[in-house]
Structure 1
C-alpha cells in the first residue's frame, strides 16, 4: 500500500524513508484557530511522521524541524517532540532545523520531516492470501477534540506494538481524510461493503492520526482485542 512518504536509495542494503507533517494556525498566537502550547504541537507533529515511517517498515533516526513561530517556541516544540519519542518507547532522536526569525507571522506554522531507514525490498505481506479481520484502534478526533478527548487517542507505544507483530499484516495511520479513505486504499474494491461491530464515523477527519487501522490474521483476534483494550472502536471481517 502506498503511504504518504518518500523512499530514496540509501546504500546497497537499505533505503531512506522521509515522512513529513505540518501544522498551521495551531499554537499560541492570537490569531490561531486552535490554542495549545507548542509542546503539544511538537508532540503531534512527531506522532504523525513517526506513524507514517513505521507503517512503511522504517526505523526513525533523525528529525528536521521547521519553525515559523519565533525563537521562543523552539524549545517547547523540541520538548514536545521528545515527549512523543518517549511515548513511542524508542531511543532519543537527534533534532536539527531552522527558525524564521526575520519576520513574524500572525498565525503559527510548523513543519517536520522525520528520517528513517528500512531494508531494501521491504514490503507488507499480501493479506489477500489470509483470512483476515480489520480493526480501528483509537477514535477519529480533530482540532480541540485532540486535547479535550486525549484519552481516546491511540497511544504511540500501542501503535508500535502492533507494527512489530508478525500476525499483523498492515498498520495504517488515519489522517485528515478519514477512515473510509484509508480503507479505500487498502481494499479498493471492497471497502464500502464492510460492516463494523460498532458505529463509526468513517468520513470524519482523524487529525494527527489519533486512530489507526490494523489488518490481522483472524486467529490473532483475541490478542488484538486484549491488547487494544479500551482503544478498539470497531472491527470487521474482510
Structure 2
C-alpha cells in the first residue's frame, strides 16, 4: 500500500495526507547519524511531499512536529523551505514543538496535506504491458550525505511527474525496491514475477532517495534521456 491517506471532500476531489518521520538523526548526544537539522528537515519534507505529489495531489499545507527543541525550529524550517523552493511551492506551514521535556535523541515528524481530483489520481493505473525502472539509488543514513550526488534530485522528480508515458511513480522507502514493486504490482492486479535489477533490491532507500516508475515501453528513450545516469531498468521474468 502507498503511504498516503485519501479522504473524500466531494464528488470530484479528495483530501490527501502523507507523512514521514526521523529519529536518532541530528546533533543530539545519542543521535546515531550526526547531521545539521537543515538536512534532517530537508529530507523529511522531501519524503512527505514526494509521496503526496506522486499520487497526483497538489500540496496545500505542511505540518512540522518538532521534538528537538525550540532553538532548532528555524533550522528545521530552513530545510523545509529548501524543499519547497526546489519544487516551486509556496504553501503555509504550521506545527508544534516539545519544549517541556529535553530529549537525548532527535525526533521530527513531517506531514504534507494536499488535494487531488479523482480523474488525476495516479494509483492503480499501470497497464499489463508496462515496463518498470528505478530513478535514483537506494541510500540511507550516512550514505545520503556521503553520496548525495546519487540521490534523486527534486527538480528531476518534478519533471518525471509531467513526463509523457509514465503511469505511476512510487517513492522508495526503508523496505527497498522489491517491497515497493511488489506493492505496485498487487495494486494493479499483476502476478508475481522474478525481479532483476543492477541495484540492490532489498536495500533501504531511506528518505526516498530513489523512486520506482511504471511506464509505456515506447516512452523509454525519452525517460532515459531525462533521467540520465539515474535510470536503472527493472527486468521481470515469469
TM-score range, shorter chain: over 0.9
**Range moving further from structure 2, 222-231 or 7-16:** 7-16
Structure 1 Cα separation of the partners of residues 113 and 153 of structure 2: 21
Partner of 1:182: 180
Partner SS, residue 140 of structure 1: coil
Q: How many pairs are equivalent?
A: 233
Q: TM-score, normalised by structure 1?
A: 0.92
User: 1:200: how far off?
Assistant: 1.5
Contact 2:193/2:236, CA 8 A, preserved across alignment: no
Kindly tell me: are residues 165 and 142 of structure 1, through their superposed partners in 2, closer, same or farther at Cα, counting changes over 3 Å? same
Q: What pairs with 1:36-185 in structure 2 (closer than 5 Å)? A: 36-88=35-87, 90-124=88-122, 126-129=125-128, 131-185=129-183
Contact 1:200/1:234, CA 8 A, preserved across alignment: no
Instruction: Give the unaligned 5+ runs of structure 2.
Output: none
User: 1:193: how far off?
Assistant: 1.6
Partner SS, residue 41 of structure 2: helix
Kindly tell me: are residues 191 and 159 of structure 1, through their superposed partners in 2, closer, same or farther at Cα, counting changes over 3 Å? farther
Q: What pairs with 1:210-221 in structure 2 (closer than 5 Å)? A: 210-221=209-220
Partner of 2:203: 204
Instruction: Give the unaligned 5+ runs of structure 1.
Output: none
Q: What's the RMSD between the two structures over aligned residues?
A: 1.7
Contact 1:16/1:116, CA 8 A, preserved across alignment: yes
User: 1:234: how far off?
Assistant: 3.1
Partner of 2:12: 13
Question: Residue 195 in 1 paired to residue 196 in 2?
Answer: yes
Structure 2 Cα separation of the partners of residues 30 and 208 of structure 1: 22
